[in-house]
Chains A and B, each alone.
Chain A
Amino acid sequence: VSDRTNVIGRPRRRVDGRAKVTGRTIFADDIMLPRMLHCRLLRSPHPHARLRSVDTSRAVAAEGVHLVLTGDSFPIPYGILPVSHDEHALCRDLVRFVGDPVAAVIANDEAAAERASDLIDVEYESLRTFASPTDSLEHSEPRIHDYGDFGNVHRAVALQFGDVDDAIAGADHVFDDVFFFEGNTHLPIEQHATVALKDLDGKLVVYSSTQTPHYLHRALAKALAVPAAHIRVIATPNGGGFGGKSDPFNHEIVVAKAALLLDRPVKVCLSREEVFYCHRGRHPVLMRFRTGVTKDGKIAGLDLQTLLDGGAYGSYGVASTFYTGALQTVTYQIPKYRFRGCRVFTNKPPCGPKRGHGTPQSRFGQEVQLDKIAEFLKKDPADLRLDIVAPPDSLTANYLRVRTIGLADCIRKVVDRSGWKEKFRKLAQGRGVGLACSSYLSGAGLPINWNDLPHSGVQLKLDRSGGVTAFCGATEIGQGSDDVLASIVAEVLGIQPFDIRVVTGDTDLTPVDLGSYSSRVTLMMGNAAIQAAERAREIIADAVSARLEVPATRLVFADGRVFDSENPDRGATFQEAVCMAEARVGTIGTTGSYTPPKSPAKFKGGGVGPSPTYSYTAAVVEVDVDPETGWITVPRVWIAHDIGRALNPTLVRGQVEGSVYMGLGEALMEEQAFRRLPARLSQALVHKFPSLLEYKSLTSLDMPEIITDLIEHPDAEGPFGAKEVGQGPLLPIMPAVANAVYDAVGVRVDQVPVTPERILRALQAKAAGKAARTGPTSFPDVPWPEPLLVAPPWEGGDGRASNQTKGTSGRKPDAGIEATAGVRS
């Protein structure tokens, strides 16, 4: 790949831009088919109850009703992680949160389905409801699930890398802080929708607003006991995902079953309220950071505890738990580290992955604590961080491999651009600046289902028309993955993205890509695309070389031509070149695939955190705080992101700005919070504000000016050097806001969101001579397991735990997908 590029690195209209501005992109709910029926789910009004009986007889007899399903039709459980297949498409014995579906009505139209669902008689036996993690820790009965570590604890994990207690005891200063990060939700403007039907030959087809068609494919095969080869999942472009469409969902499985039974297309589209209850969003996390620091501001050791409110199901929760402790070490040098994380079940909608998956919460704690450390040591927080940035090409204490790291450049860039040195601790009372940093994966290094198969595949078809079609299972969720695919293939073949047709997210037509999550698509699909395109280029070059009698190594693919670099007039158009190749070798098709490098982490739990490479971000946020009211506004944000290389700067900027926007929402106002209804209404735990109007998010009027800089040091792991950008830039925003509030008015808000009310409470506490902060004050006693002891690399460790008994990773390989129907043991 030459350094000069024609497509890569240039700001361009995305390949699907025209479809999107003409309203012609077909989202799942835009699919309307002849004879199509509509489905509504009947959801539990109880947060925790035994299902005594579900009587559907009146509903079945209602006008326009074709089918009523209950949990009886769904004996096989499923779930996204192999360790927590704890969901049934419709509840069978227990309902675990308000919104858990107990029955489904399929009728001529939505209104008929809705009316009939009111005629289903369900008898519930209320059970004790668990509303908070401390509640779930303190009471082990009744259990929300009959699996998990103990009682209502889903998973408690402990990992120790070196003698942390010794390091902290020997440190010059010890900082012990407790933080809380409230849950929040993705809020995609498109509500989840699915259309299922039997194809002409009787096989199941499912169109769905899913970020992960491959995992939905697996879940359908398992839950419906239908061979995967007889199921086609087509991911429609997602109208926003942000992680919220990454689980296989009950409504998807329900309409698939209904379509199989009725042999008619069946559609479901969730209401906005249902989307709030679907959730799988940010876990509320309580965390305690105990950090030993040397007098010059180096970290001697970190002891981190996190407590996650998981909600009612497993979802990605085990991974989320490990993620709260995974990435602290890839930004800063931490020679000794202990992480203990605990996820509990509660009777609320399940939490899962939202942009940043498990890492924003502890990133908030870490970056706010660093601000406090800098304050105490009278060091500039930017300088403090610059002195401890992790080195490139290194292994961290927890065996994550850092490749290129542009974090120091990011910090210097935002310091310079924001005028930090003139502003920090120097602005007028009420105005302040705060700085924070972050890092994120460029794709999870390990697959969800442990196997040796590639994570991404790309297939190319070329023919005499000169047309190129690129096939990949990746899913366009707005982030621009179709554009990445087209631009990389175009660059390698010397043509334009418009010359390429992309076919994506279709399990019948496209090779497997694991999905649009963990910021994996650009790197993994991109590398697979390069391999496929280079193989095609080689076939074409050989043919042109033979025909024109020019050595293949001298041929250049550029500007829609294939020509001799020493005599550019000697060559062929791209179409002519493809014809030469087709005549020479027959039908042309190539494939490429990508599997991430093996992780050096061999301990159980080490599968969460590894990535081929990490992106880095630094941000400075400026705030205005009214000391009388606590009212906070953000006029300006400076952000620098180490992306390795920007493939399409227009889209990259959009990802950075969109991340800042979403981060500000989390920092200032977004809350997925619950309240209990009064006793006469069953004391149900319901969402406080399940509507777009009351769940506050930033509008156009709230947006600050954003000054974005990209740091481009190409990373050898990434396609054309590219790293991720979809998630990392969100992470520094929340702590930078909290740090800026301190700079503005001298109070600490050690929790998210940083609301005017909390600022005001801290100001009042300060005025009363109490601690100038709001936030949690203690971390509960968690019965932690003995930590796995892993010696860090610099203490002679080999990535294994010295006290781990079984297996290397504790994971058993699987066959890639359920090949035949059957219940898993």
Chain B
Amino acid sequence: VKIRLTCTVNGDAVDALVDDYKTLLEVLREDLRLTGTKHGCELGECGACAVLVDGQPVLSCLALAAASSGRTITTVEGLGADGQLHPLQECFADLGAAQCGYCTPGILMTAKALLDREPLPSRERICEALSGNLCRCTGYLQIFEAVEAAAQRLSDSGRKEAP
């Protein structure tokens, strides 16, 4: 059975008919063709499918799309703005935080939620926030460093923009 889903995805209004059994992950990837969001288990174990729903990180493989009606969803495709990469993306690319790149979108979105909450998190807080995201390539350290560098960059530009 199809249901009507209205929500906002990466700033765009979405009004779609989707299968009622589909997860948010499936709708994002298969119906909206936003394949930046990945799957590693579809059981909520790896964090590859993390997206932001109303600013909170959510495992989209465990969320029914139907439950997202009226919500604001952000995926990796919506992380940059004004034609620019987000500082997290810049730092991940520059500092070796993405090797195969498969877990990267989920980690970026989880880190974004952290920095939105805590602009300059400690290393411990970063470890904690990312502990639900598995990465098999990096050994995590370059990821931690990239999050720290991005936090610093965001904080510096925030200071500059302040009157």
Contacts and interface: CB of A to CB of B under 8 A. Distances in A.
A and B: interacting chains: yes
A353 B96 CA distance: 26
B128 interface: yes
Contact of B96 (A27, A477, A654, A701): A654
Interface string A10-37: 0001101111111111110110100000
B43 interface: yes
B141 to A, nearest CB: 5
Interface stretch (A185-193, A408-416, A781-789): A185-193
A706 B37 contact: no
A272 B93 contact: no
Contacts of A661: 138-140
A740 B137 CA distance: 25
B108 interface: yes
Interface residues of A, number: 54
Contact of B104 (A21, A658, A703): A21
What is the interface of chain A mostly: helix, strand, loop, or mixed? loop
Contacts of B45: 272, 691-693
Contact of B131 (A20, A186, A662, A700): A700
A13 B127 CA distance: 23
Contact of A22 (B36, B135, B142): B36
Interface string B39-51: 1111101101000
Contact of A703 (B38, B46, B77, B127): B127
A660 B43 contact: no
A656 to B, nearest CB: 8
B160 interface: no
Contact of A272 (B41, B92, B99): B41
Interface of A: 13-14, 16-27, 29-30, 32, 186-191, 237-242, 271-272, 477-480, 650-651, 653-654, 657-662, 691-693, 697, 699-701, 703, 706
Contacts of A701: 127-128, 131
A650 B38 contact: no
B100 A239 contact: yes
A669 to B, nearest CB: 13
A26 B45 CA distance: 23
Contact of A480 (B48, B88, B99): B99
B101 A239 contact: yes
A240 B98 contact: no
Interface residues of B, number: 56
Nearest to A186: B136
B105 interface: yes
A691 B94 CA distance: 32
Contacts of B98: 17, 20-21
A20 B101 contact: yes
B147 to A, nearest CB: 10
A32 B32 CA distance: 12
Nearest to A20: B101
Indicate the member of B38, B130, B144 with the most A CB atoms within 10 Å.
B38
Given A17-B93, A657-B141, A692-B43, A27 B102 contact: yes
Indicate the member of A23, A479, A691 with the most B CB atoms within 10 Å.
A23
B57 to A, nearest CB: 14
29 contacts: A13-B94, A18-B89, A20-B93, A20-B100, A20-B101, A21-B98, A22-B89, A23-B105, A24-B36, A26-B35, A29-B39, A189-B102, A189-B135, A191-B39, A239-B38, A240-B100, A240-B137, A478-B100, A651-B99, A654-B99, A654-B138, A660-B139, A662-B136, A692-B46, A700-B130, A700-B140, A700-B144, A701-B131, A703-B140
Contact of B102 (A239, A271, A272, A653): A239
A189 B40 contact: yes
Contacts of B141: 657, 703, 706
Contacts of A697: 134, 136
A650 B43 contact: no
B16 interface: no
Contacts of A29: 35, 39
A692 B61 CA distance: 14
A653 B42 contact: no
Contact of A706 (B40, B93, B139): B139
Given A271-B42, A658-B137, A21 B92 contact: yes
A22 B131 contact: no
B95 interface: yes
B137 A272 contact: no
B94 A657 contact: no
Contacts of B96: 14, 650-651, 653-654
A309 B131 CA distance: 34
Given A16-B101, A650-B94, A653-B142, 7 more contacts: A20-B98, A32-B30, A478-B137, A657-B141, A658-B99, A658-B139, A661-B138
A478 B99 contact: yes
Interface string B103-138: 111001000000000000000001110111111111
What is the interface of chain B mostly: helix, strand, loop, or mixed? loop
Contacts of B38: 23, 27, 189-190, 239
B3 interface: no
B37 A23 contact: yes
Interface string B73-95: 00111011000010011101111
Contacts of B159: none
A378 B35 CA distance: 59
A29 B37 CA distance: 11
A661 B132 CA distance: 16
A186 B134 CA distance: 13
Given A22-B89, A23-B76, A24-B36, A479 B99 contact: yes
B2 interface: no
Contacts of B77: 22-23
B100 A190 contact: yes
Contact of A30 (B35, B88, B92, B137): B35
A651 B97 CA distance: 9
A559 to B, nearest CB: 21
Interface in B45-78: 45-46, 48, 75-77
Contacts of A14: 93, 96
Contact of B142 (A30, A186, A654, A662): A654
B138 A692 contact: no
Given A17-B98, A21-B93, A703-B141, A242 B136 contact: yes
A188 B132 CA distance: 16
A17 B104 CA distance: 11
Closest 6 CB pairs of A and B: A23-B36, A478-B100, A20-B101, A239-B102, A661-B139, A17-B93
A697 B85 CA distance: 31
A478 B130 contact: no
B131 A699 contact: yes
Contacts of B140: 661, 700, 703
B7 to A, nearest CB: 19
Contacts of A25: 101
Nearest to A701: B131
